[in-house]
Amino acid sequence: MNKIYKLSLITILFFFIAEQTQAQYATKKFKSKHEAYTDSIKNVDYNYVFPILGKATYKRGFDIPYPMGIMVNYIWMDQGIDITNMQLGLTTVNRDIPLTPVDFIDFGENRNTSMSFNVRPDVWIFPFLNVYGLFGYGKSKTEVNLVAPVELKSVVEQNISTAGFGVMGAFGVGPVWVSIDGNWTWNKPELLDDPVRVNVMGLRIGHTFVFKNKPESNIAIWAGGMRVKMSSETRGAISMADAFPDETWDRGEEIGEQYDEWYDGLTPAKKVIVDNTPVPDIVDKIRNNDRDGSSTIKYGMDKQASQMWNGIIGMQYQVNKHWQFRTEGGIIGDRKSFLFSVNYRFLGFKSKH
């Protein structure tokens, strides 16, 4: 296949995609009532580097977003967490117990609630392909509930920093648009040894309503789904005093009695296994209300979102080609979420040609 044939094929493919694309994320071709605006777009002398093929897109009467942007997001999320392969260790003034499997511990419902602010710089490489970065900071609260060998709750709050990247594509099907978005972030909670890798995939289907007398402004609405998957292995350490809320310490005597009753019912072989873990020492400290700040619980586990997929709905108001305001909520499924963002877009770098 010679170079001219390859170039022709790529050009035909681009214009096929451009004709089908009507998302607020990508190109928009206007109806006859916006004919004057469409004519002005065709006459645009577009001489900027991005998006590639931007000039050809304008010549065909398609409007496209300014290629570069800075988005600021506020995100709140609450979701269930499944914990498996639990390991515990304990460091005190007198001894150091390494991480040891504690598969006799049973969990109830565990939840994580987080909020964060992040900055999302992006660029449209092609009129239908966007790449972006994610850099943020926030707080996380994880509540872990044990149901055996004792009923016990641990609440851990910590700061989290985030960095990552993503890719988004968009295309049109008749009057609606479809966007597919995927990002990969590394989230570093202050109490964990290593960052937690999180992969978020989003599928959205929507429609954009252009204002009759102001074609640069529009409102887009959409619905879709979001999938969250995190790297499962987690290791960290937390002070004994910070690992449990006051209500757990206040129930120390009751928790100790629950443990003794559970332990007395074990077989001799099972008791040996339990005795070789940090659990007896941890229970004794809770029983005696010993909040010694020099004692540290080490932990390792595999964790994952209880439900990877949840349903989302959203809306965006574009004031003009510079400013956009967006909100989105996760409303269906175990995961609940809320997003609000402000996006400023600009033309970027001029082409030398």
**How far is it, in rounded angstroms, from Cα 264 to Cα 295?**
27
* pLDDT value for 39: 65
* pLDDT value for 192: 82
* pLDDT value for 31: 55
**How far is it, in rounded angstroms, from Cα 236 to Cα 261?**
30
* pLDDT value for 227: 95
Could you give the C-alpha distances from 246 to 97, 239, 335, in angstroms and in order? 25, 14, 28
* pLDDT value for 91: 92
* pLDDT value for 5: 33
Output helix, strand, coil percentages for the chain, rounded to the nearest 5: 20, 55, 25
Domains and CATH numbers, the chain: 3-63 (no CATH), 68-346 (2.40.128)
Q: How many CB atoms lie within 10 A of CB 65?
A: 23
* pLDDT value for 15: 33
**How far is it, in rounded angstroms, from Cα 204 to Cα 260?**
53
* pLDDT value for 55: 79
Per-residue pLDDT of the chain in tens (353 residues, 90 and over written 9):
443 333 333 332 333 333 333 334 444 554 555 666 666 777 777 787 888 887 787 787 777 889 999 999 999 999 999 999 999 999 988 889 999 999 999 999 999 999 999 999 999 999 999 999 999 999 999 999 999 999 988 888 999 999 999 999 988 887 899 999 999 999 998 888 889 899 999 999 999 998 888 888 999 999 999 999 988 788 889 898 888 888 999 999 999 999 999 999 999 999 999 999 999 999 999 999 888 778 899 999 999 999 999 999 999 999 999 999 999 999 889 999 999 999 999 998 888 76
**How far is it, in rounded angstroms, from Cα 229 to Cα 200?**
7
* pLDDT value for 48: 77
pTM: 0.82
Three-class DSSP category at 127: coil
